[in-house]
Structure formats: structure tokens, C-alpha cells
Amino acid sequence: MKLSIKQVLIVANMNKPQAENLVSEISSYLENQEIHVEIFRLSGRVEPPVFENIDLVFSLGGDGTVLFCSRLLRTAGVPILAVNLGTFGFITEVSQDEWKEAFESFRDGRTGLSHRLMIRTAVTRDGEKIFLNQCLNDLVVKANGVSNIVNLKLHLNETRLGTFRADGIIVATPTGSTAYSLAAGGPILDSEMDALIVTPICPFTLSNRPIVVSGEDIIQIEVLKHQRTALNLSLDGQEMLPLCEGDIITVERSRGRALLVLSSKRNFYEVVRAKLNWSGEVDA
């Protein structure tokens, strides 16, 4: 069944040299199809305007541009067609010479969407909620100083999991399982699983290992007193918040999901295999 697409937003990472030419190419094509086009040129840390009544978003850049788009849209339920302008990322499966085929295949109903879990993060300070935002990849609580070791108390629902002495803690989605969490020793999850990963970063005690929990669980991280360094909270490596002793970070599944247009050329596991150089054979 052919979809009705009347308004498209193009979010272009202008740090990519080929972005402007591709913006012009896509805009001309869509306008010839009588589709209204809005363009947001992303460069540095800027506050984007509010876009309404958008049927589809083109994300032109890399994985970071997709993460930005997912937070921009939040719970709007707008599909994202992620076009990679460099080497393939784990999220961006469509190359820059495949965008037209990917768009037409999606519009005509030949390819579908990947529904990606997002997480909502709230920070409570002295009993007052001071921060609320969402992310697609991960949130990280870690040191922001010379001494890396921080002390964090972790709860899962009503269960205390313990006190962690580590460089920090990552809470990752299945999409984020191939990012920072993977580098810190966490597992790779299927991109559409309903689960979260809690990964300690270089824990002082080797018994502190990554755990996979249900997407329905609520995770709480408490910044304990008497830290030796300042701490930061980061979302997708793009949104930052300085933390104070006594802050409580509450992490739970977002009500909405990021909707990513699937590629007809390659799937998640093919991208993972290529990025991680899996051979599939045992060396004799």
C-alpha cells in the first residue's frame, strides 16, 4: 500500500562535505513529487526549531545525526530514513547513492520500519526533578576530572543491586549495544529487543559485570556522597548535565520508539558482521 507523504524534513550534518549537494538533490526530487520540504542544517550545538506535521525525516550524516533526529522527534512517531555520508555506521544502513531507491521502496510499501526502544532519563536533586530527556543509544554517568573512580549506588525496581566503584556506568538500549557499552565489555543485542543493558565502566571489582534487564524495569543510579571528582551525565554523547552528590538518575523505557526505515540492501546483522570483521570461520 502506497503511503501518503506530503511533508519531509531533511536534517543534514554540514560537517560532511557532500551534505549540501545531497540536500539539493533530495529537495529537487521531492519537490518534483509535490512534497513540501523543510531543511535543517546541523552544525555544532544548536537548538532546533519545532517542526510540525512532518511525515518523514531524511537524516544525512552518520549515526550521530540519527541520534540527534531521534531526540528531536521524541514521541512524534515520525519515520527516519538514515543516509550515511561516510563509512557505514551501525544505525545508518542506507548509502548516499541508495537514498532514492530506499525512499521509493518505503513509500510504496515494499520495505518497513525498525522499531527501536528509546530510554527516558530523569534527574532528581533535593527532591525536585531538574532534568528530563530521551535518547536512542545510551546514557552514561562518569567522572569529569583527574580521578576516574566514582561511587554509585544502583537499584533495579525495588531491589538494591549494590554500590559500584568504577569509572562510571552505562545504560544502553539494544541500538546502543554496539556503541560505548560494547567497548566496555557489554553484549550485542538484537536491535528490536525490549531490553536494557547496564554496563559498569572499568569496575574496581571484577565481580561487577554487565547485566541485561527487561525493558519494563526501572533503573535508578544514585550519586553517593564524598566523591573525589566531579561527575557528568551524558545522553547519546550529545546532551550533557553536570551532576551533584545526592542526585538520583531514573532510567526507564520511553513511551515512544524511534522508527527507522529499513534498507532493502542490508540488515542489522550484516552491518554488524561487516563492522566487526566477523569471518565466520575458525582459524586452523
98: nearest Cα among 210, 275, 265, 284: 265
Instruction: Identify whether 63 is a catalytic site residue.
Output: yes
Q: What is the 3-state secondary structure (H, E, C) of 156-223?
A: ECCEEEEEEEECEEEEECCHHHHCHHHHCCCCCCCCCCCEEEEEEECCCCCCCCCEEEECCCCEEEEE
What is the tally of helices (H) and strands (E) in the chain?
5, 17
- For residues 23 and 99, the answer to whether their CB atoms sit within 8 Å is no
- Among the options 55, 63, 138, 194, which is catalytic? 63
Nearest to 63 by CA among 82, 49, 81, 80: 82
Cell triple for 246: 545526592
User: How many Å apart are CA 165 and CA 200, to the nearest integer?
Assistant: 9
Catalytic residues: 63
